[in-house]
Structure 1
Amino acid sequence: MSYQAVRPDRRHWRNGLWWCVAVCAGLFSSAVAAHTIRFAPEKDYPPFVSAGPAGHVQGLSVDVLEILRPRLGGELQMLPPDNLANILDAARRGEVDLISSLRPTPERAEFLAFTEPYVKVPAVLVVKQGPAAPVLADLAGRSVAVGKGYAVETFVRTHYPQIRWVAVSDDMSGFQLLMRGEVDGVVADVASISDAKRHSGVRGVQVGETLPFEYALSFAYRKELTALGSALNTALQDISPATRQALLRRWIDVDTLTYEDPLHLWLRRAALGLTFLGVLLMLVWRARKPLLKDRHPRAD
């Protein structure tokens, strides 16, 4: 029997080699994909996250994420900025791994998990400027804008069904409708209206009332990415109070951080006024007491 008769066919070796290369390449691609974290930023939710004029994504939440990035255990891939409703739809389909500036809701909890909040701001009613700002109870049957898919949308539709709610893609769209007189109010967080008045030319509006709803904003991630959630929470806990305050003051003005409901402010001033009046009356009474004694001497 000759050597030629038992030599293996070289084609089988080549096919086997290419098969091994293909398998290894597939495993490598899967490993790379598993360590790529797809972050979906909102395009118009300042001061928390928005796309600037050149498309550069910026905001308070983006700065926080930059601090967390080295500890996430993977490469961060920035997806094109979009509105929240589209981002949530993509996350439900498994096309997004990480979202910022979100408040947990039962609907979102079906496919997302949430970190601890990293910023808290109240929701407010924004109305046209005037001598007497209305509250939501005054706007029954009238149009008020609210962000579509925002956590506050479910809250206001449930608790204020008498309002004609107009869903808008973002807060800025609502403010524009208000300035044009197409709606009678906008429900948004107080930081967003502050930023819009400072940087986006929103004029002639004011805060009408604070709603019993707080934006406790967190990072959201796909529920199955438990390691990512653990890394996010651990890194958030390690941000010092001084760093948190510096980030807040970079993106949110002092007036917003110390915002007080006009009704609460009036009540506080009234209480201070009554206290001052009480002290004044007590001082007057003490000053008059010796005079009364002199006017009515004792007959001992």
Structure 2
Amino acid sequence: MMRKGLFAATLALGLAAVPALSLAKDFGTLKFATEGSYPPFNQTTPNGKIVGYEPDIVAELAKRVGFKYEISAQKWSGMIPGLIDGKYDAVIDAVTVTPKRAEAIDFTQQYTVSVSSFVTAKSSPLATLPGTGTVVTADDAAGMQKAIDELKTSFKGKTIAVQVATIQTDFLQKYLGDVATIRTYQAGPETFADLMNGRVDAVMASRTNLNAFVKKHANAISSSGYGFSGGVLGAGSAIGLRKGNAELKAALDDALAAMIKDGTLSKLSIKWFGEDVAPKA
């Protein structure tokens, strides 16, 4: 999971001209919270517009379900508490579904398959971490143990940057906290800035987010090490909703399922990530 305080930018959009799939329920104007600084999932343009994979998903959902919406940039650390308190109707910010989070909020159908990994400076010894290009899942106990043992050796005495209150923080504290310094940051871009400035040895985040960073700084930064999925890292990203909002969840689930089936979600994924990270029907 993932920004400079509270952005003033708020984007309000009306109903699209295309017919909605279902108008059985009038949801009014829904308030979506995101970070506005987690590209390519979401980012804020110089003129204050929030764009990215997730804003495009919200726009498509609005067309299909038939609702108006506002999407505003918020600090990640306060996003789920704000949702629970009723400040927003939904959170869409590369929020990975985990059992712990599901105790507090509901989740829609997933819209992204999730893998977490590392990036480091090309000049660093860590640029050749074992397992690069290999994804290990939590249900592969032997493979997971082998990967963790190798990373413990590589990261001993190193400093790893990660955004606070994310699944990657949980992973690092559980598996590497006894051998490496885990340095947390309020915002994802801050982790990358310290890596570029040599203040940390590596950054852990979602692979889709890391790929965008590597693409931008390919001369200096590279992906390295195993990719991990499942367990404390969850199974994919979904929209977070307050518990008990069954009608909204059902409407969004139906629309997302249709977007997966007709290929719309895959097209949006390729548009923003350059690869298909959408779930399959």
State TM-score, norm by structure 1.
0.67
Q: Structure 1 residues 74 and 238, CA, compared in 2 at 3 Å: closer, same or farther? A: same
Please, which of 97, 103, 110 is the counterpart of residue 117 of structure 1?
110
Please, which of 240, 244, 257 is the counterpart of residue 237 of structure 1?
257
- The alignment partner of 1:53 has SS state of coil
CA distance in 2 between partners of 1:41 and 1:105 (Å): 18
**Structure 1 residue 182: deviation in Å?**
0.6
The corresponding residue for 2:165 is 149
Please, which of 133, 143, 149 is the counterpart of residue 128 of structure 2?
133
The corresponding residue for 1:286 is none
CA distance in 1 between partners of 2:50 and 2:182 (Å): 30
Alignment partner of 1:91 is 2:83: yes
- The alignment partner of 1:149 has SS state of coil
8 Å CA contact 1:102–1:219 kept in 2: the answer is yes
8 Å CA contact 1:172–1:196 kept in 2: the answer is no
User: For the pair shown, which has the larger CA radius of gyration, 1 or 2?
Assistant: 1
Point out which structure has higher relative CO (alpha carbons under 8 A, 6+ apart): 2
CA distance in 1 between partners of 2:212 and 2:170 (Å): 24
Alignment partner of 1:248 is 2:269: yes
- The alignment partner of 1:165 has SS state of strand
Alignment partner of 1:174 is 2:207: no
8 Å CA contact 2:36–2:44 kept in 1: the answer is yes
CA distance in 1 between partners of 2:176 and 2:262 (Å): 37
8 Å CA contact 1:128–1:185 kept in 2: the answer is yes
Equivalent runs, 1:61-100 vs 2, <5 Å: 61-72=54-65, 74-79=67-72, 81-100=73-92
Please, which of 156, 160, 164 is the counterpart of residue 181 of structure 2?
164
Identity of aligned residues (%): 23
Number of aligned pairs? 222
Letter in 1 for 2:113: K
Q: Structure 1 residues 174 and 92, CA, compared in 2 at 3 Å: closer, same or farther? A: same
Alignment partner of 1:216 is 2:208: no
8 Å CA contact 2:161–2:185 kept in 1: the answer is yes
Letter in 2 for 1:116: Q
CA distance in 1 between partners of 2:74 and 2:85 (Å): 16
Structure 2 unaligned blocks of 5 or more: 1-25, 131-150
State TM-score, norm by structure 2.
0.71
CA distance in 1 between partners of 2:47 and 2:238 (Å): 26
Question: RMSD of the alignment, in Å?
Answer: 2.4
Structure 1 unaligned blocks of 5 or more: 1-32, 258-300
